[in-house]
Amino acid sequence: SPDEGEVRYRSALAAEKLGDFDGAIESLLLIWPHPVAKRELDRIWKGKHGDLSGLEDRLDEAYLKRFPPIATTPYAGREDAASNRVALVELFTGTGCPPCVAADVAFESLGRTFKTSDLVLLQYHLHVPSPDPLTNPDSEARASYYRATGTPFILFNGKETVRDGGPRQKGPNLFEEYRSAVEVKLKQKTPAKIDLSAKRDDDQLVIEVTLSDVEPNDTLRLRLALVEDTVRFTGLNGVRLHHSVVRAMPGGAAGVAVSQADLTHRLTVNVGELRESLAVYLADHEKQVSQENNITFEFPAKPLDLAHLGVAAFLQNDETQEVAQAAFVRLEP
């Protein structure tokens, strides 16, 4: 029997010869992101439109049509108004990790189910099992903190309660497990409060965190994460859209010691300098992989827009790894 991908590819070239550029594009979208399909799609799209403007949005549309998001209903809200603990979900994943697909789509569905006033999502990328351009030094440091050597690896308020992964078809069942785990956390109470604000002026980002009613101890730390809402990159596992991706941890992955019940912490981040440092890190990793494998390795893309950002803040006890409270704010592009 003929190979479906080959048939679609030849059909696209035939459609182009007949002047049916839309038909050619549709055929190539069905086999994208195969490298040959990507090359021809770029060429035909540019030939029709003059440049590549709009292609990424069209790819998003085709991807979401092929892989519709998991159906979900919004969280109804807390039954007890005194339950004020914000849940923190941290997912370690990789764009080349096949069993991470179910975890990735289940994780994304949490963001459409809960408000950020109830749930903060952090997605860390690792070079597991293959190089990942969304990885950064702080995500690796965070993995070392949790001793997360494999992916997917997910934690709820600093504790691993679900250890599973699988293909995309398993995503809905995994999402229900995640949702149940979050709802349990939302029934909890804590005296600690986090007032978080962040403003961006061009590339300058100013963050201010005010803590109150905290129960300080020698192992309590305040940590911050700079989060990109959605990142486009199609790796070996086929996931194109990555959500709540941690790009850096301002002030360092080790965080800041909290030694008093009330504390105000301010710091600034230059997004341009961060972009440059991430580019250097990825270039160094390309050299490392090339040397270790005696090849010339380059990432197919290095997504470094850092446009739609948010800031997360959370209190964590380094002795127990328990997260006591969390907060999140979005920034204007």
Furthest CA-CA distance within the chain = 73
Q: Given strand 263-270, what is the order of strands in its sheet?
A: 193-201, 204-212, 263-270
- The answer to whether the predicted template modeling score (pTM) of the entire model surpasses 0.75 is yes
pLDDT of residue 34: 84
Tokens of 305: 């827009």
Q: Which pLDDT value is given to residue 2?
A: 55
Which residue type sits at 135?
A: T
- Note the pLDDT of residue 107: 98
* AA identity, residue 329: V
Task: Give the pairing type, strands 119-125 and 87-93.
Answer: parallel
Residue 168, classified by CB atoms within 10 Å of its CB into exposed (0-12), middle (13-18) or buried (19+), is middle
The crossing angle, in degrees rounded to 10, of helices 171-185 and 100-111 is 50
pLDDT tens readout for residues 100-146: 999 999 999 999 999 999 999 999 999 999 999 999 999 999 999 99
Q: In the Cβ-directed half-sphere of 85, how many Cα atoms lie within 13 Å?
A: 22
Both structure tokens of 288: 């490392």
Question: What pLDDT shows up at residue 313?
Answer: 98
Residues of the chain falling short of pLDDT 50? 1
Amino acid present at 104: D
**Taking each helix axis from N to C terminus, what angle separates 21-29 and 4-17, rounded to the nearest 10 degrees?**
160
Rounded to whole angstroms, the Cα distance separating 202 from 210 reads: 24
